[in-house]
Structure 1
């Protein structure tokens, strides 16, 4: 496992386990408390048995990075997930490059006509697809991704890669997930037409 506390790849040591089964709440459940053999901190994993044996335990605490909502196009979720996997593998420069690829995907999904990422982001700003703040975030992520994509002799740090992932996630959330939620909210709150209002 990769320890959620110290980020080291370790075997882990099972400190305790518990099996439970309530047919009204799903399949048999195995809870595992596993400690890191490097830093000593513990993590909680859960495994379920759907009839073919226990599946691969999944960490539930500390909570893993959350998944992007389904309003974010699948291809962008996939790119962002690859960036996160690079980060978890400690390939921080690769994570920065994948964040940049995610931005390129955003431009493609939004139908920009410009050839470069810089111009595509500017086109999205001018069309109102992103505001000034999101444009600044995207430009900072583009520059970081360029640092990773072109040999400069400088690696992307863990902190910068982590911030890039968070900012990219926020940008995707705002552009797709929150925008869809707000549109649905507006539809529900739409005042009735004049005829309906007088019934």
Structure 2
């Protein structure tokens, strides 16, 4: 039996890890044969695609691996599903599109979409003064001073704004690296979690507790 790492996404060589469909850590059943991809897609590298079946939800995940069997792309896009329905629709859409860009290593496009998610968050949660600002950095300063943006998120939000500008104007800035794009995705996910999902879960839990208490 192969020793798998449950913290990394599944591959045919290590068929265990978080499922992009259900989000649970699971074992996967490999499905053969693997498909060879043309050199144009793989930029001259020996890329292959393999379907894996999650033993939890029984849905199929498509994995692209390189010549050393390292995963380079997954479908559906990891992290792009399972958002709480209370997340603002426009914020969720921008985040999901950013994750899809990240999955194909389109780092500049990913940075632009994550910045868009942050801008849409301001439009949804910011004060009237913040919403009226033309420049995102100034709007974020309003949210910080108003107490609508937690201080621990301010530095990250400002950094995300800068990298989003780099993605939109590559002629004026340095390249957005994969590590930077991944860090931005993590920040936006934390923002969504803290500003939308946790409050929604607490509201639902409070309502359930009230119902249980009232029935006793």
Interval of TM-score (by shorter of Structure 1 and Structure 2) = 0.5 to 0.7
Q: 2:78 aligns with which of 57, 65, 68?
A: 65
Q: Is the 8 A contact 1:99 1:165 kept in 2?
A: yes
Matching residue of 1:33: 31
**Residues 76 and 106 of structure 1 are in contact (CA less than 8 Å); yes or no, is this contact kept in structure 2?**
yes
In the alignment, the residues of structure 2 paired with residue 85 and residue 36 of structure 1 have an alpha-carbon distance, to the nearest angstrom, of 22
1:95-174 alignment to 2 at 5 Å? 95-111=110-126, 112-150=131-169, 151-174=171-194
- Three-state SS of the structure 1 residue aligned to 2:202 is helix
Structure 1 residue ranges without an equivalent (≥5):
7-11, 13-30, 47-56, 191-195
CA gap of 1:110–1:153, structure 2 versus 1, over 3 A, is closer
Aligned length: 158
- For the pair shown, which has the larger CA radius of gyration, 1 or 2? 1
Matched, 1:178 2:198: yes
Measured in 2, the distance between the counterparts of 1:153 and 1:106 equals 25
1:184 Cα deviation (Å)?
3.4
Q: TM-score, normalised by structure 1?
A: 0.65
Name the CA shift for 1:89/1:40 in 2 (closer, same or farther; >3 Å).
Answer: closer
Deviant stretches of 4+, over 4 Å: 34-37, 39-43, 60-64, 186-190
TM normalised by structure 2 equals 0.60
Distance 1:64 1:93, change over 3 A: closer
Q: Distance in 1 between matches of 2:47 and 2:101?
A: 22
Distance 1:106 1:40 in 2: 38
- Secondary structure, counterpart of 1:44 in structure 2: strand
**Relative to structure 1, is the Cα distance of residues 121 and 158 closer, same or farther in structure 2, using a 3 angstrom cutoff?**
same
